[in-house]
Amino acid sequence: MERTVRAVGASLLVLATMLLAAAGCGGGASGPPVAAVNLRLDRTSVPIGGPLEIAFRFDVSPDLVPITDDYMVFVHVLDNNGERIWNDDHQPATPTSDWEPGQTIEYSRRIMVPLYPYIGDGDIAVGLYLPSTGERLALAGDHIGQNAYRTATVTFTPQHESSFLVYEEGWHGAEFQPDGQAYWRWTDGRGVVSFQNPRGDARLMVEVAGRPNVFETPQEFSLRIGDRVLEELTLDTSEPVMIDRTITAAEIGSDDVVRLELVVDQTFIPSELGAGDDARELGARVLSVYVEPI
């Protein structure tokens, strides 16, 4: 009898521990759904490493009780076993503390799919959580547990060989955001990226940012292959700018290996501007380069 009591007590203790852990991970929310959530993707399949445009829509409940805190949107991409493979947590375009009954919140985000070694179908689950506590709000949608809602399915395909990039001369090491969700590289004025010739037209995407506050006139940025200038851009903002264009087979040329040059006309050295002891020569801050055959 004593052994039975001890076993039951131990089982209850384990169960209680599991319930507390689940609550700490953002368990069930109290109250009715605050909004209905829907996602729209610009394509149903995407190569790993490629761009995915996601349109978010939250239809706020007409019976919404005002939300006093600002909740984050979590976007969890799950493999076919339901395991999370990557995420894109972010602030919604309108803070949740400003949501009003019956309002529609719409915005889009472009995500560069991480180079995660997974090929196959993935579900996209969305929800709202409070970073300080992990609490999640209830939404209306396809609930899959812990106030996460399946909103879309996408198929991840292998990269084309022309999407494998080699960073050659002119680059500093990669730098990361504290949360690890974004990274960038600085050029030293002229950075070269090479890739296999796709032998046809291709989509070229380059996300770049300048530092207009350290120059009398903004930097001039250009993309080049050989003596061909593909794009020219004035970097008059420190916010990232996306260049998204088709490059033709004629612009790419006939070489087996294509060398794409990212050139900026002005550079700076942070230590000479009183910014610590960073003595690197910095040109443009490049957040992403991507090539995909069409």
- What integer pLDDT is reported at residue 26 of this predicted model? 44
Q: Tell me the pLDDT tens digit for each residue of 126-169.
A: 999 999 999 999 999 999 999 999 999 999 999 999 999 999 99
Q: Tell me the pLDDT tens digit for each residue of 93-113.
A: 999 999 999 999 999 999 999
- What integer pLDDT is reported at residue 178 of this predicted model? 79
C-alpha 276/C-alpha 56 separation (Å) is: 41
- For the chain, the domains span 29-157, 161-293
Higher per-residue pLDDT: 105 or 178: 105
The 8-class DSSP code of residue 173 comes to P
* Alpha helices by DSSP H, the chain: 2-24, 249-252
Domain 161-293, CATH among 3.30.70.260, 2.40.50.100, 3.40.50.720, 2.60.120.260: 2.60.120.260
Q: Tell me the pLDDT tens digit for each residue of 30-47.
A: 579 999 999 999 999 999
Residue 8 predicted with pLDDT over 70: no
The CATH architecture of the domain made up of 29-157 is: Sandwich (2.60)
C-alpha 176/C-alpha 58 separation (Å) is: 30
**Centroid of chain to Cα 225:** 28
| 120, burial (CB in 10 Å: exposed 0-12, middle 13-18, buried 19+) | exposed
CA 248 vs CA 34, 95, 109, 275: distances in Å: 48, 42, 27, 42
pTM over cut 0.85? no
Residues of the chain with pLDDT > 90, as a percent, come to 84
Q: Tell me the pLDDT tens digit for each residue of 222-231.
A: 999 999 999 9
Residue 240 predicted with pLDDT over 90: yes
Q: Tell me the pLDDT tens digit for each residue of 264-282.
A: 999 999 999 988 899 999 9
- What integer pLDDT is reported at residue 110 of this predicted model? 93
C-alpha 83/C-alpha 76 separation (Å) is: 9
pLDDT band of residue 25 (cuts 50, 70, 90) is: very low
Report residue 154 as tokens.
């996408």
Q: What is the CA radius of gyration of the chain?
A: 24
CA 279 vs CA 219, 253, 274, 276: distances in Å: 20, 37, 11, 9
Say if strands 148-157 and 166-167 run parallel, antiparallel, or are unpaired.
unpaired
The mean predicted confidence, pLDDT, of the chain is 90
